[in-house]
Amino acid sequence: MPFKANAARRHRIPKQRYRVTNWAEYDAALRQWGSLTVWFSAEAIAAWRAEPRTTRGGQPHYSALAIQTALTLSAVFRLALRQTEGLIGSILQLLGLGLAVPDHSTLSRRAETLEVPKPCPGSRGPVHLLVDSTGLRLCGPGEWLTERHGTRRRRSWRKLHIGVDAETGQILASELTPHDVDDGSQVEPLLDQITEPLASFIGEGAYDQTGIYSTVAQRHPDADVIIPPRSTAVPSEMAESTPTQRDRHLHSIAEHGRTGWQTRSGYTRRALVEAAISRLKRVIGDALRSRTDRRRLTEVAIAIAALNRMLELGRPKFVRIT
């Protein structure tokens, strides 16, 4: 069971309760998430046909925006590519548009090379970046077949590393790696995708590494690095004369306790990245359907773009119930 070792102490921490203050607007946004007009927009229809190719080779029939629109419908409504082909065909028929429908083979092939636009931060000012990782299963035998016939090897999965804007909840950076890759090793690739200055970098205890503090300081000297030190952590040799950020965290924990440090430092914002991961798995799913690594990268990028678009439609605003 999770938290089994601390089961005797967890009852002392009551679960926090919140109330949504903009329920009418948020309820309307939730309905829009499933609206076809949101995903199959007039802009996508206008740019459906590909621009004429000026170099040698065959002429493409569909623009990158058309392929991205089709793959987005597949991700949002959890459709296989053949069903996506049928959905797009029915939409075009109902709209009376004489546009060609990309077949499932074209969608699969174009996913190998599709470049999905990178998300842009919507925050006003420096970004409070929250980082974390989660596992995504690779599609394989169903649970019934595994139970009935057994399996000789463990089910494969990938690890998704994300960086979330604390103000908007949008995912600004992502990396898909094998499951055994250390979280700290992906901090630099995530920071490479952030174009705005950072106000803070917040991560869990797995990011408590000296190299991470220096990596963030080199790129964003004014950013606060908020990572809980390990329980066995000790101050550096220069803690008395020139304390590092980690030394200051240790001093605050010794003075106010870990719970007090979390509130004072702003570490409590890290719950928002866990909410983003939960939203990804509830809306899009917890498995990757693509069969190659390049298509999996496109699948993740499409899913993140769709989630960010949903948040643009409306987000809940909470107040804590005391």
Decide if pLDDT at 41 tops 80.
yes
Shared-domain flag, residues 136 and 205: yes
From 77, 110, 143, give the residue that closes a domain: 110
Which CATH number is 258's domain given?
Answer: 3.30.420
Q: Is the residue at 304 inside a domain?
A: no
CB 85 within 8 A of CB 73: no
Same-domain status, 190 and 283: yes
Overall average pLDDT of the 16-43 stretch = 90
- How many helical (H) and strand (E) elements, i.e. helices and strands, does the chain have? 13, 8
Does residue 145 or residue 120 have the better pLDDT? Answer: 120
Instruction: Judge whether 259 lies within some domain.
Output: yes
Task: Answer yes or no: do 135 and 217 share one domain.
Answer: yes
Mean pLDDT, rounded, of the chain: 88
CA dist., res. 298 & res. 63, Å (int): 16
Classify residue 208: in a domain, yes or no. yes
The pLDDT-based confidence of 119 (bands split at 50, 70, 90) is: confident
The reported pTM is 0.87
Cβ neighbours for 242, distance < 8 A, ≥ 6 positions apart: none
> pLDDT higher for 12 or 234?
234
Residue range 204-215: mean pLDDT, rounded? 92
Same domain (yes/no): 97, 144? no
Q: Has residue 312 been placed in a domain? A: no
Is residue 42 situated within a structural domain? yes
* 48 and 136, same domain (yes or no): no
Confidence of residue 61 (pLDDT cuts 50, 70, 90): confident
* pLDDT tens-digit map of 125-169: 899 999 999 999 987 655 555 566 665 555 688 999 999 999 999
What integer pLDDT is reported at residue 321 of this predicted model? 85
Mean pLDDT, residues 55-66: 80
Tell me what pLDDT residue 155 has: 62
The whole-number average pLDDT for the span 275-304 is 94
Those residues with Cβ within 8 angstroms of residue 31's Cβ, 6 or more apart along the chain or in another chain = none
What phi and psi values does residue 135 have, to the nearest 5 degrees? -100, 140
Distance, CA of 49 to CA of 319 (rounded, Å): 47
Asked if residue 200 and residue 73 are part of one domain, the reply reads no
Q: pLDDT category, 237, cuts 50, 70, 90?
A: confident
Domain count, the chain: 2
| Same-domain status, 131 and 277 | yes
In tens, the pLDDT along 69-79 reads 999 999 999 99
Query: Model confidence at 227, in pLDDT bands (50, 70, 90)?
Result: very high
Average pLDDT over residues 241-250: 92
d(CA 243, CA 246): 8
Mean pLDDT of 180-185: 93
Residue 19 lies in a domain: no
Q: Which pLDDT value is given to residue 213?
A: 94
Q: Indicate the pLDDT class of residue 1, thresholds 50, 70 and 90.
A: very low
Q: Region 109-131: what's the mean pLDDT?
A: 88
> In this structure, are 235 and 266 located in the same domain?
yes
% of the chain exceeding 70 in pLDDT: 89
Give the sign of the dihedral formed by CA 167, CA 168, CA 169, CA 172. negative
pLDDT for 149 equals 62
Predicted pLDDT at 65: 93
Q: How many CB atoms lie within 10 A of CB 76?
A: 21
In this structure, the answer to whether residues 84 and 131 fall within a common structural domain is no
| Domain boundary pick from 110, 139, 159 | 110
Residues spanned by the domain of 215: 127-288
Q: Where is the domain boundary, 84, 110, 136?
A: 110
pLDDT on residue 124: 77
263 shares its domain with 140: yes
Cα–Cα distance for residue pair 290/299, rounded to 1 Å: 7
| 70-107 per-position pLDDT tens digit | 999 999 999 999 999 999 999 999 999 999 999 999 99
Q: Are residues 267 and 174 in the same domain?
A: yes
Burial-class residue 78 by CB neighbours within 10 Å (0-12, 13-18, 19+): exposed
Question: Are residues 168 and 240 both part of a single domain?
Answer: yes
Q: What value does the mean pLDDT take over residues 178-186? A: 93
